[in-house]
Amino acid sequence: SSEGRIEIHREKPDQAPLVSIIIPTTDATRDGLLPSLLKQLEEQTFRDFEIIVIIGDTRQGRAINCGAQLAEGKYLVTFDDDTRLGHNDLLEKMVSQIEKHPDIGMAGVANLVPEDASFFVRRVMKELPRRTSPMVTEIVDSDMAEHPCCIIPRHVFLEVGGENEIIPRGLDPYLRQEIRKAGYRVVVLPGVYIHHLPPKTFKKFVKQFYRNGKMAAYVNKFYPEFVIELTTRHGDEVPKKRFIISRIFSYFYRLLATLVTFRIFYLLSLILYLSGYIVGYLNLNKDDV
SS3 state of residue 234: coil
Distances (CA, A) of 283 to 122, 219, 287, 288: 34, 13, 12, 10
pLDDT of residue 3: 66
Task: Read off the amino acid at residue 45.
Answer: T
Distances (CA, A) of 45 to 49, 87, 133, 134, 188: 11, 10, 24, 23, 21
pLDDT of residue 11: 83
Measured CA to CA, the distance from residue 53 to residue 13 in angstroms comes to: 16
* Closest-CA residue to 191 (of 74, 68, 60, 96): 96
Q: CB pairs under 8 A, 24+ apart, for 34-37?
A: 34/81, 34/82, 36/84, 37/79, 37/81, 37/82, 37/83, 37/84, 37/85
Other residues' Cβ atoms within 10 Å of the Cβ of residue 120: 15
Point out which residues pair with 6 in neighbouring strands.
54
Q: For residue 42, how far is the Cα from the chain centroid?
A: 22
Spatial contact of 275 and 210, defined as CB atoms under 8 Å apart: yes
Name the CA radius of gyration of the chain, rounded: 19
SS3 state of residue 78: strand
5 phi, psi to nearest 5 deg = -160, 170
SS3 state of residue 105: strand
Measured CA to CA, the distance from residue 170 to residue 173 in angstroms comes to: 6
The CATH 3.90.550.10 portion of the chain extends over 5-195
* Closest-CA residue to 132 (of 86, 178, 90, 94): 86
Burial class for 46, CB neighbours closer than 10 Å (0-12, 13-18, 19+)? middle
Whole-model pTM? 0.94
Kindly give the parts of the chain with pLDDT less than 50.
1-2
Number of H helices, E strands in the chain: 9, 9
pLDDT of residue 12: 83
pLDDT of residue 2: 46
Through-space distance between the first and last CA atoms of the chain, rounded to whole angstroms: 14
pLDDT of residue 243: 83
* Closest-CA residue to 218 (of 177, 252, 170, 251): 170
Measured CA to CA, the distance from residue 162 to residue 179 in angstroms comes to: 10
Measured CA to CA, the distance from residue 85 to residue 88 in angstroms comes to: 8
pLDDT of residue 76: 99
What top-level class would CATH report for the domain 5-195? Answer: alpha beta
